[in-house]
Amino acid sequence: MSVVLRADSIGKSFGRRRVLTSAYFEASAGAVTALVGRNGAGKSTLLRIAAGWIAADHGLVELHGRRHLRPDPAALANDGLVFVPIDRSLLSPPFTLAQHLDAVEARFGGGGRAAVLERLGIAALERARCASLSGGERRRAELALALLRRPSCLLLDEPFRGIDPRDVEVLQAVVREAAGAGCAVVLTGHEISTILAVADSVVWLRDGTTQALGSPAQAAEDWRFRRGYLGVR
């Protein structure tokens, strides 16, 4: 599988608090990479740097073989990278889902809208105002907007947090389908069984650095991961 996105030697501090020292991960076409770690380990920060939302103190981001020392989010987005954050909704409450979908189609071209909405189970919500959507409905709607942009690389920050099991199952299936269609997917989260069930590879972030743990089965057997993250001895 070809590497689509690489974040290399990433360091980041906020004031005197050093969050990342030398973090590394890569995402390959057709695969789901899980970025895991304890609360405050820097997972969201690393994704934001990879998407160009915040600047790293050092390191580089490489997308489709092109190096970015100071990644520009618009340039990365134009090159196929789509980031769905957990703490900043892609949906504006006063507008309907249909209005958001129309805007995406006008920018990135039409095609596949009905199939995406049907697959995510939100076809009946097109005329609903985004303020009225539940947490799970919002998460599915944001994923629909992301997929309609036809990303080559999709970054999802805690996509399974705070939603009911039915929504989780839908999102898991759609994420796997996106990877099956060739997209490189990176996701974070604390729902370890859910994440291991959908991932192809696991990267553990701890003490500002990363460690590639291999497949979910290999990660689950790693004693350091079991003790340091799962709390299993």
At 194, list the tokens: 């859910």
Q: Which burial class, exposed, middle or buried, applies to 118 when counting CB atoms under 10 A from its CB (0-12, 13-18, 19+)?
A: exposed
Q: What single-letter amino acid sits at 190?
A: H
Q: Which CATH number fits domain 3-91+141-230: 3.40.140.10, 3.40.50.300, 3.40.630.10, 3.30.360.10?
A: 3.40.50.300
User: Do residues 84 and 48 touch, judged by C-beta distance below 8 A?
Assistant: no
233 pLDDT higher than 50: no
Region 7-28 average pLDDT: 94
At 65, list the tokens: 């073989």
Nearest Cα neighbor of 190 from 25, 39, 19 is 39
223 pLDDT higher than 70: no
Instruction: Report the range of poorest mean pLDDT among 70-74, 147-151, 156-160, 178-182.
Output: 70-74
Region 97-121 average pLDDT: 89
User: Do residues 10 and 56 touch, judged by C-beta distance below 8 A?
Assistant: yes
232 pLDDT higher than 60: no
111 pLDDT higher than 90: no
At 66, list the tokens: 């092109």
CA distance linking residue 104 with residue 133, whole number of Å:
19
Region 145-151 average pLDDT: 93
Nearest Cα neighbor of 8 from 216, 233, 212 is 212
